[in-house]
Chains A and B, each alone.
Chain A
Amino acid sequence: METIKVVKTASYVPAKVVTNDDLSQIMDTSDEWISSRTGIKQRHVSVNENTSQLCFNVAKLLLEKSGWDAASIDLLIVATMSPDSYTPATAALVQGKIGAHNAIAFDVSAACSGFIYGLNVAEKFMGSSNTACKRVMLIGGEVLSKVIDWSDRTTAVLFGDGAAGMLLEQQDDSESRFIASSLHTYGELGDKLEAGKTEALTAFPMTGEHQIKAFSMSGRDVYKFATHKVPLSIEEAVAKAGVTLDQVDYFVLHQANSRIVTQIAKRLEQPLAKFPMNIAEYGNTSAASVPLLLDELITNKTLKRGQVIVLSGFGGGLTVGTQIIKY
């Protein structure tokens, strides 16, 4: 039976590190306040590198690690809420730069669930005889620093920049596979988390400048959404998969806030030790956070082949998504 295998993972974060103490120099906040409420100690901030550049760096690493020829890739997806531009898609920019000229490329916009939505899209393309994609590159990448309102201390402290991704391949003999998923979208709550919002012209010919709004979030609403909907999404996916929560080795959750992760663990009645976290180092990197953590777990050999993992994202849309994989 043909199954989908996660062949390689890779990540790249910009060099500049901004600590909580650094932020307390430019806004009214403190390391104690940020770390006790979010678990964040520092974040990486991109200077001069846009989203496609971070993703390109990940793509290069993936090709180096795997030895794959870029021309062998059939599909290249970038999950992002902070693309370089409306068009071309960030995925197209990466495809052009690495010379993956046989790949179709497009972005998935589902914010912090973007990587999980991307996995789902990849699975559909790989499973369809119509498209017959054998090899897929999926990257989550964000430069959130360019859309953040740096005068809003309630959101500015939460986010970071970075990118990470994986290569997927359809294989005949692999025990690795995608087991089940659960995706949900709650568009009626869309205004709880917005970034890059544009306005239609108020008159024609237009007067003034085009306006693009910075990031804004109703933190409490999103917190509540996450602690309620993520456990439901995980339970739904686990039920579809025919496994129990106890059989899951690791829950790799979107790193938005360590206290959200702790609450989700509590609601699922699973030990917190099964919920690895790296938010202290990177902050919330939206679509990049799940693959960034996954790559870390694979690199430090925490995650081993054959183990069952739950990947779960939640955020703007509002969206929530869970994918269960046998790694």
Chain B
Amino acid sequence: MTEQEIFNKVKDIVVEQLDVDADKVKMDSDIKEDLEADSLDVFEIMNELEDELDIKLEADEGVKTIKDVVAYVKKEVEAK
């Protein structure tokens, strides 16, 4: 998967989970600060990514921005 494909997937899930507009979700968006997610939301986003991409993710991997999530997912997809 390319970074763009992963970003699109993350964006879809974030929009659905957090009920935010798609154009608010950018690579440098801070998930908690800009998108107003709490720790359970981040956990849910990770759960959804795990289900859709068949990978294992830790919810407390220290991800802060969407870019962090995309990089973390990309690493796990490539390690699969």
A residues sitting closer than 8 Å to B (CB atoms) are: 36-37, 220, 223-224, 227-228, 259, 263
With A227-B47, A263-B44 in contact, is A220–B59 under 8 Å at CB? yes
Q: How far is the CA of A288 from the CA of B2 in the complex (A)?
A: 49
Residues in A with CB closer than 8 Å to B59 are 220
Who on chain B is nearest to A266 by CB? B16
Q: Main secondary structure on chain B at its contact with chain A?
A: helix
Q: Are B47 and A224 in contact (CB under 8 A)?
A: yes
**Interface assignment of B38: CB less than 8 Å from any CB of chain A:** yes
Q: Are B40 and A37 in contact (CB under 8 A)?
A: yes
Q: A37-B38, A37-B40, A228-B51 are in contact. List 12 more A-B contacts (CB 8 A).
A: A36-B38, A37-B39, A220-B43, A220-B59, A223-B40, A223-B43, A224-B47, A227-B44, A227-B47, A259-B40, A259-B44, A263-B44
Residues in A with CB closer than 8 Å to B51 are 228
Who on chain A is nearest to B41 by CB? A259
Ordered by A's residue number, 15 sampled pairs between the chains whose C-beta atoms are within 8 Å are A36-B38, A37-B38, A37-B39, A37-B40, A220-B43, A220-B59, A223-B40, A223-B43, A224-B47, A227-B44, A227-B47, A228-B51, A259-B40, A259-B44, A263-B44
Residues in B with CB closer than 8 Å to A263 are 44
Closest beta carbon of chain B to A285's beta carbon, Å = 21
Residues in B with CB closer than 8 Å to A37 are 38-40
Closest beta carbon of chain A to B66's beta carbon, Å = 21
Who on chain B is nearest to A37 by CB? B40
Q: How far is the CA of A125 from the CA of B59 in the complex (A)?
A: 44
Q: How far is the CA of A36 from the CA of B44 in the complex (A)?
A: 15
Q: How far is the CA of A29 from the CA of B15 in the complex (A)?
A: 29
Q: How far is the CA of A223 from the CA of B59 in the complex (A)?
A: 12
Who on chain A is nearest to B59 by CB? A220
Q: How far is the CA of A6 from the CA of B27 in the complex (A)?
A: 54
Residues of B12-64 whose CB lies within 8 A of A: 38-40, 43-44, 47, 51, 59
**Max chain B Cβ within 10 angstroms of own Cβ: one of A36, A220, A228, A263:** A220
Closest beta carbon of chain A to B15's beta carbon, Å = 13
Residues in B with CB closer than 8 Å to A224 are 47
Q: How far is the CA of A228 from the CA of B40 in the complex (A)?
A: 15
Residues in A with CB closer than 8 Å to B43 are 220, 223
Q: How far is the CA of A223 from the CA of B46 in the complex (A)?
A: 13
Q: How far is the CA of A72 from the CA of B38 in the complex (A)?
A: 53
Who on chain A is nearest to B44 by CB? A263
Closest beta carbon of chain A to B52's beta carbon, Å = 13
Residues in A with CB closer than 8 Å to B47 are 224, 227
Who on chain A is nearest to B43 by CB? A220
Q: How far is the CA of A36 from the CA of B51 in the complex (A)?
A: 25
Q: How far is the CA of A37 from the CA of B39 in the complex (A)?
A: 9
Q: How far is the CA of A69 from the CA of B44 in the complex (A)?
A: 50
Closest beta carbon of chain B to A156's beta carbon, Å = 18
Q: How far is the CA of A223 from the CA of B43 in the complex (A)?
A: 10
